[in-house]
Chain A
Amino acid sequence: MNPAPARDSEPQPLIRLTGVSKIYGTGQAAMHALRGVDLAVAKGEFVAVMGPSGSGKSTCMNIIGCLDTPTRGSYRFNGIEVGDLSRDQRAILRRHCLGFVFQGFNLLNRTSALENVELPLIYRGVPLRQRRRQAATALAAVGLAGWEHHTPGELSGGQQQRVAIARAIVTTPEVLLADEPTGNLDSERSLEVMRLLTDFNQREGLTIVMVTHEPDMAAFASRQIHFKDGAIEAIRTA
């Protein structure tokens, strides 16, 4: 199964999974979350990952996000074999190359929007003033200029998710990984968030991999990958 032969001829896709399997447990109780997945995502793509729960899409996202490693097969990120990296090396890779957006926003409570956005910069060792400036710029980019000092409790769900997006893009990552970013939002806020993501993808060339089970949201992506029973069932290109 070779999902995208044309792209394989390109020098090096940003994300390349080759025969990736993930097995939890051993023997009789072994659970095959992924069964030999092959997937390549090129720089600048906007990919939606879809499928029912238990289909393996979350496991696949965790592996792409370097939070987990394949049991078998190879995952190369930018040519680096992630399976060979230690826990800390994967943390460094996430720190420098990946941005995360979660369904539940995962902002720090009682902490201002600005400080939430600064968080990844702290781990990068960016000095305070530069951090403040970059965080303010990122907040302005998601349309939240003037909301810097509001805490998550004082922001709407849509605004909170935009703060989370600002936190993900403040480090100018190679890939933005969004795990059901609109799952907790009403349709209007969902559209706002999707427009924002599309905007970053088209204007900045930001590579986005997004998990969703809403076809309306997946429609924004340039490619839809459907998972079923731990394998890719279909790929649709917009």
Chain B
Amino acid sequence: MWWETFMLALRAIQRNALRSGLTVLGIVIGVAAVITMVTLGGGATAKVTEDIGKLGSNMLQLRPGQGFHGPGGARVSAEPFEVADAEALAREIANLEAVAPTASRSMQVIQGNENRSTTVIGTTDGFVLVRDWDLEAGRIFNPGELRGGKAVCVIGETVREALFGGLEPIGETVRLDRISFKIIGVLAAKGQTSFGTDQDDLVLVPLRTFQRRIAGNTDVQVIYVSARDGVATDRVKTRMERLMRERRRIAPEAEDDFFVRDMQEIVSTMTSTTRVLTTLLGAVAAVSLLVGGIGIMNIMLVSVTERTREIGTRMAIGAMERDVMRQFLVESVVLAGLGGICGILLGLAAAGVGARLMGVPFVFNPGIVCLAVIFSAGVGIVFGYFPARKAARLDPIEALRHE
């Protein structure tokens, strides 16, 4: 009986294919929009999470100045850090995997006739540990090179490609600001971040070399710290802040003139942003399904009126109220369900194209697809109920007389 009713509904919809199609357009568009947005949002989140993982999710950055103070926030003149600060962090805070003080500058790197503008970072061997960075070839600085401020460097993949192409770079020299540096290592490629910056466009030199021969001072701009696996980064952050206030002699009532950025904070901010976005999308979906549902109710009422004689005939033949009710209810559910399925297919297709264009992975979310099916069928039931009841309550005599 249910199967017959289902086939009957399909036939009724097919008979008015154009009208049915236009009716469910609201549901199709609503569902497609939600599926597209949720799928793309999922892909973007996955991409960002992956990027942050590449940066090292156990990583904290200590920078002078103040963090994200809005406009009007007090601007405190901030002293840069020193190497001693990094040494103090390493000495006094437990559970740290590595500490890497850095100073950087944008410079021309020259090799023969080739040159490229890149970021030169003065740092220690801790840098590759903190950033969880493998070496493609060669090695990182040894303690002697770091202490002695030797003119050696490790280059990123983008720089290697630009300057050497297919040639072997290890043992060659490059010039930075008229000083020749010997290449001792090449970093493995990390690719672009989701914000579009090329992470491989850099040259690493020993921090002491950078300070003496390039910057001409002893400043340290950013200190990268990584906590051991399984250590809560927020506790490490608190201890770092306490230590730095002490070392920088900040009065108890004064604000910090430095800030610690915790990557896990960024991850959780991302997650909550996604959640807000999903809630908003849900609201948009609810509105479009409501509009779509009203469209279905409208067309079902028209259908009941058009088929009054048919309903009368069915009743004379022996259809009970519930048979007529079921017929129209199933028809509206099938109509809405088909709209939902079309919307899902359209949404997934759009998300596939969008993911490729945006360069994010295509993350199929079965939960939202199930939800879309359930919701569109639910719309069919809710908005089909009134027309179906109207049909079921018709007086067979009146219905048979209907022109």
A91 touches B397 (CB 8 A): no
In the bound complex, what is the Cα–Cα distance between A62 and B321 (angstroms)? 18
8 inter-chain pairs at a CB distance below 8 angstroms, sorted by A residue, are A65-B316, A67-B315, A91-B321, A92-B318, A102-B313, A102-B400, A106-B309, A123-B319
User: With an 8 A cutoff between CB atoms, is A229 at the interface?
Assistant: no
User: With an 8 A cutoff between CB atoms, is A95 at the interface?
Assistant: yes
Q: Which residues of A contact B316 (CB under 8 A)?
A: 65, 67, 94, 100
Q: Mark A84-98, 1 if CB is under 8 A from B, else 0.
A: 000110011011101
A91 touches B15 (CB 8 A): no
Q: How far is the CB of A128 from chain B (nearest CB, A)?
A: 8
In the bound complex, what is the Cα–Cα distance between A4 and B323 (angstroms)? 40
Q: Which residues of A contact B397 (CB under 8 A)?
A: 62, 67-68
B317 touches A120 (CB 8 A): yes
Which of B15, B312, B323 contacts A110, CB < 8 Å? Answer: B15
A123 touches B323 (CB 8 A): yes
User: With an 8 A cutoff between CB atoms, is B4 at the interface?
Assistant: yes
B: contact size bracket:
20 to 34
Among residues 41 to 82 in chain A, which have CB atoms less than 8 Å away from a CB atom of chain B?
62, 65, 67-68
**Given A110-B15, A123-B323, is A91 in contact with B315 using a C-beta cutoff of 8 Å?**
yes
Which of A62, A68, A122 contacts B4, CB < 8 Å? Answer: A122
Chain B interface main SS type = helix
State how many residues of chain A have any CB contact under 8 Å with chain B: 26
User: With an 8 A cutoff between CB atoms, is A119 at the interface?
Assistant: yes
Q: How far is the CB of B44 from chain A (nearest CB, A)?
A: 49
Which partner residue on chain A sits nearest B315 by CB separation? A91
Which of B4, B11, B320 contacts A92, CB < 8 Å? Answer: B320
Q: Which residues of B contact A124 (CB under 8 A)?
A: 318
B400 touches A122 (CB 8 A): no
In the bound complex, what is the Cα–Cα distance between A96 and B318 (angstroms)? 8
Q: Which residues of B contact A104 (CB under 8 A)?
A: 309
User: With an 8 A cutoff between CB atoms, is B310 at the interface?
Assistant: yes
Q: How far is the CB of B47 from chain A (nearest CB, A)?
A: 52
A119 touches B317 (CB 8 A): yes
User: With an 8 A cutoff between CB atoms, is B190 at the interface?
Assistant: no
User: With an 8 A cutoff between CB atoms, is A31 at the interface?
Assistant: no
Among residues 302 to 349 in chain B, which have CB atoms less than 8 Å away from a CB atom of chain A?
309-310, 312-323
In the bound complex, what is the Cα–Cα distance between A104 and B312 (angstroms)? 12
In the bound complex, what is the Cα–Cα distance between A28 and B317 (angstroms)? 36
Q: Which residues of A contact B319 (CB under 8 A)?
A: 91, 95, 123
Which partner residue on chain A sits nearest B5 by CB separation? A122
Which partner residue on chain A sits nearest B313 by CB separation? A106
A67 touches B310 (CB 8 A): no
Closest CB pairs A-B (n = 6): A95-B318, A106-B313, A91-B320, A88-B320, A100-B316, A120-B317
User: With an 8 A cutoff between CB atoms, is A108 at the interface?
Assistant: yes
Which partner residue on chain A sits nearest B310 by CB separation? A108
In the bound complex, what is the Cα–Cα distance between A43 and B46 (angstroms)? 79
User: With an 8 A cutoff between CB atoms, is A125 at the interface?
Assistant: yes
Q: Mark B45-70, 1 if CB is under 8 A from A, else 0.
A: 00000000000000000000000000
Which of B310, B318, B322 contacts A120, CB < 8 Å? Answer: B318
- If A88-B320, A91-B318 are given as contacts, then 14 extra A-B residue pairs at C-beta distance below 8 Å, sorted by A number, are A67-B396, A68-B397, A88-B322, A91-B315, A91-B320, A91-B323, A92-B320, A94-B317, A94-B318, A100-B313, A119-B314, A123-B314, A123-B319, A123-B323
A88 touches B318 (CB 8 A): no
Which partner residue on chain A sits nearest B11 by CB separation? A111
Q: How far is the CB of A88 from chain B (nearest CB, A)?
A: 5
A122 touches B309 (CB 8 A): no
Q: Which residues of B contact A122 (CB under 8 A)?
A: 1, 4
Which partner residue on chain B sits nearest A103 by CB separation? B400
Q: How far is the CB of B141 from chain A (nearest CB, A)?
A: 82
Which of A110, A111, A123 contacts B318, CB < 8 Å? Answer: A123
In the bound complex, what is the Cα–Cα distance between A227 and B273 (angstroms)? 80
Which partner residue on chain B sits nearest A116 by CB separation? B313
Q: Which residues of A contact B15 (CB under 8 A)?
A: 110
Q: How far is the CB of B23 from chain A (nearest CB, A)?
A: 19
Which partner residue on chain A sits nearest B401 by CB separation? A58
Which partner residue on chain A sits nearest B14 by CB separation? A110
Among residues 282 to 313 in chain B, which have CB atoms less than 8 Å away from a CB atom of chain A?
309-310, 312-313
Q: How far is the CB of B319 from chain A (nearest CB, A)?
A: 6
Which partner residue on chain B sits nearest A108 by CB separation? B310
Q: How far is the CB of A47 from chain B (nearest CB, A)?
A: 19
Q: How far is the CB of A183 from chain B (nearest CB, A)?
A: 14
Q: How far is the CB of A98 from chain B (nearest CB, A)?
A: 8
A87 touches B321 (CB 8 A): yes
Among residues 113 to 127 in chain A, which have CB atoms less than 8 Å away from a CB atom of chain B?
119-120, 122-125
Q: Which residues of A contact B4 (CB under 8 A)?
A: 122
A88 touches B317 (CB 8 A): no
Q: How far is the CB of A38 from chain B (nearest CB, A)?
A: 22
Q: Which residues of A contact B323 (CB under 8 A)?
A: 91, 123
A106 touches B400 (CB 8 A): yes
Which partner residue on chain A sits nearest B324 by CB separation? A91
In the bound complex, what is the Cα–Cα distance between A92 and B317 (angstroms)? 9
